[in-house]
């Protein structure tokens, strides 16, 4: 206590100066409208900047939660969209006289592992059999196709990426419905190769490539990419088409696993047909 008194006494002039300075400022701001307004304006500006910084920081740390919420909402929208339903009955009176039956369910998931620079690339998702995921289900992003589920555990799923030598996607040119097979060659992760399109078909750079209805895995008209270039190799009756993927496989974070509710029925019927040959 004695030391405190000595300290105050030693710097008494300085403390007296601070007190008198504070009184002066108080009197200035209280009796001068202009100074008071300037002080309040400066205080509001400083407070506003502080709150903006704090809010921006809070939003940054909440991005993960926000993205997951948006992914769930997108999955709901995909499941409720017209593309998720198949027409089961039509009439000749009006287009509106149709009965639709749901064929696809979209389940949102997060990518926890991914590769693009190997010959056989895979992704790992943070959902598994606990969410009803099974092998051979389509995986898409908001930009286009991603791959096909391969191995499933209770909480995780391994996905055969489109960037894999074993991945063959049934694709078509959107403007004319001519179909072929899409695959990926080692090299550029941005480009795939579409084959089996006859040379008499008129194609152009920039034409849109989408999935067709022949696969029991991918829904029809899911985006794949755009024609980057094409050529006709000597003696070949089909184009070799380079397709630029619409999905950037290097930054895929949120995806949707697509459940085809009619897949088993379709596969069973096609298997029976093949056995009759």
Other CB atoms within a 10 A radius of the CB of residue 255 amount to 27
Q: Please say whether the beta carbons of 212 and 173 come within 8 A.
A: no
Q: Is 213 helix (H, G, I), strand (E, B) or coil?
A: coil
Other CB atoms within a 10 A radius of the CB of residue 242 amount to 20
Can you name the residues that pair with 40 across neighbouring β-strands?
none
Q: Please say whether the beta carbons of 174 and 209 come within 8 A.
A: yes
Which residue did the predictor score with more confidence, 45 or 168? 168
Q: Is 157 helix (H, G, I), strand (E, B) or coil?
A: strand
Count Cα atoms within 13 angstroms, Cβ side, for 87: 7
Mean pLDDT for 130-146 is 94
Least confident residue range of 74-83, 130-139, 150-159: 74-83
* pLDDT at res. 139: 96
Mean pLDDT for 144-149 is 96
Residue 204 has pLDDT above 60, yes or no: yes
Q: What angle do CA 246, 61, 112 make, to 5 degrees?
A: 45
Residue 246 has pLDDT above 70, yes or no: yes
Which pTM does this prediction carry? 0.66
Q: Please say whether the beta carbons of 84 and 102 come within 8 A.
A: yes
| Closest to 148 measured CA to CA, from 120, 172, 173, 176 | 120
pLDDT digits (tens, 9 = 90+) for 46-92: 544 554 565 455 555 556 655 665 665 565 565 555 554 544 443 33
Which residue did the predictor score with more confidence, 59 or 139? 139
Please report, for residues 58, 110, 159, 185, the alpha-carbon distance to residue 55 in angstroms, rounded to integers and kept in the order given: 5, 26, 37, 46
Q: What is the Cα–Cα distance from 86 to 153, expressed in whole angstroms?
A: 30
Can you name the residues that pair with 172 across neighbouring β-strands?
179, 210
Which residue did the predictor score with more confidence, 82 or 265? 265
Q: Is 38 helix (H, G, I), strand (E, B) or coil?
A: helix
């Amino acid at each position: 206590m004695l030391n405190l008194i000595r300290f105050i006494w030693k710097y008494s002039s300085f403390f007296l100066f601070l007190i008198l300075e504070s009184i002066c400022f108080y009197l200035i701001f209280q009796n001068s409208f202009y100074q008071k307004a300037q002080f309040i304006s400066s205080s509001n500006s400083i407070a506003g900047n502080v709150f903006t910084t704090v809010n921006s920081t809070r939003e940054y740390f909440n991005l993960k939660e926000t993205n997951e919420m948006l992914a769930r909402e997108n999955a709901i929208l995909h499941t409720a969209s017209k593309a998720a339903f198949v027409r089961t009955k039509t009439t000749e009176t009006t287009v509106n006289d149709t009965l639709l039956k749901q064929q696809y369910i979209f389940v949102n998931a997060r990518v926890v592992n991914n590769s693009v620079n190997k010959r056989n690339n895979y992704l790992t998702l943070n959902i598994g059999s606990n969410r009803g995921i099974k092998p051979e289900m389509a995986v898409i992003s908001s930009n286009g196709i991603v791959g096909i589920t391969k191995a499933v555990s209770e909480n995780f799923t391994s996905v055969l990426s489109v960037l894999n030598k074993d991945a063959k996607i049934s694709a078509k040119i959107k403007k004319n419905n001519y179909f072929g097979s899409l695959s990926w060659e080692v090299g550029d992760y941005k480009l795939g190769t579409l084959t089996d399109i006859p040379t008499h078909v008129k194609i152009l750079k920039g034409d849109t490539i989408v999935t067709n209805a022949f696969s029991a895995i991918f829904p029809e008209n899911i985006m794949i990419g755009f024609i980057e270039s094409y050529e006709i190799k000597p003696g070949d009756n089909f184009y070799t088409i380079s397709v630029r993927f619409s999905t950037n496989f290097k930054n895929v974070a949120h995806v949707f696993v697509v459940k085809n509710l009619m897949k088993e029925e379709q596969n069973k019927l096609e298997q029976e047909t093949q056995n009759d040959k």
